[in-house]
Homo-oligomer: A and B are copies of this chain.
Amino acid sequence: MSLKLTILGCHSATPRVNAHPTSQILQIRNHHFLIDCGEGTQVQMRKYKISFAKVKHIFISHLHGDHYYGLIGLISTFGLLNREKELHIYGPKGLQEIIKLQMKFSQSRIGYPIIFHELNSANSELIYEDKKVTVHTIPLNHRIYTNGFLFKEKPTLRKLDIEAVGKYPEIETCDYYNIKKGKDFVKKDGSIIKNELLSFSPHTPLSYAYCSDTAYHESIVNLIRNVNLLYHESTFLTDKEQLATKTGHSTALQAGKIAALAEVKILLLGHYSNRYRILPKFQKEAQKVFKHTLLAVEGTTFEVE
């Protein structure tokens, strides 16, 4: 099992030729979750060979343009490509109204259902769940209502040790499911075969936390504790800490502190301000407090196994 995160854009504010605003594709358990959708995201998806058809869920953190101006174009393109599959969009109040207003004036028919999931809670909530994954919001501290998102695999069943099971003729196929669930096998004479003799430990569930945009906000630490991968915005370096506080953003050092407090496995930085030209400075700054820090780079896929 693995989790793959492809960066489509990792810069803040105004898009430039080689610096696109925020958008990511998370591949987790056969899902292709699109996270934020700045202007030009659909072109970035084409550039980096992301299948349009596989995207069924889009998560929008907040209604600043660099996180959602590309959404209406993507929705329109899905329509032009004769999409029929449902599209689920999770985002703040206002997003549905904006999208529907644009669709009304274009008078273009969209041949697939769009289901909006309006987010308005100030607390973390479960917003998506199936047999394999869950998605929770991570309330952030920005200038307007903003959520991060926590994507988690569910624990899988234990794996049957076929060879071991074969040694016990009294175990039948219909017993396998209980063994996979971790139950011991009880023989007819009442004696027990311990589960660990019959099955292997399951794959450890993976998790990804997306936190952008936000000021330094320790309240998120408990929500994202021990995640395998944390994307935390670092719009500024410490030289602009006051500006970061004023604008509801973080410095690379602050992102590192959150990663350290939450004891995550890997920290991924992004949402760089266009004022900085030497991005490794972000990594260096965060590494003062959290060693396993990487830099988001457009077009790069980060894989966690």
Chain A residues proximal to chain B, CB less than 8 Å: 13-17, 39-40, 42-43, 46-47, 63-65, 69-70, 72-73, 76-77, 80-81, 92, 94-95, 97-98, 101-102, 104-108, 143-144
Contacts and interface: CB of A to CB of B under 8 A. Distances in A.
Nearest to A19: B43
A79 to B, nearest CB: 10
A15 B73 contact: yes
A275 B279 CA distance: 40
Given A13-B80, A97-B101, A101-B97, A39 B107 contact: no
A77 B40 CA distance: 14
A94 B105 contact: yes
A81 B16 CA distance: 13
A39 B73 contact: yes
Contacts of A63: 102, 105-106
A137 B298 CA distance: 42
B64 A73 contact: no
Nearest to A103: B65
B65 A73 contact: yes
B73 A46 contact: no
Q: Quick one: which of A69, A92, A107 has the most chain B CB within 10 A?
A: A69
B144 A107 contact: yes
A25 to B, nearest CB: 17
B46 A16 contact: yes
Contacts of A73: 14-15, 39, 65, 69
A43 B64 contact: no
Given A64-B108, A106-B144, 13 more contacts: A15-B40, A16-B43, A16-B46, A39-B42, A39-B73, A63-B102, A65-B73, A65-B102, A65-B108, A94-B105, A97-B101, A98-B98, A98-B105
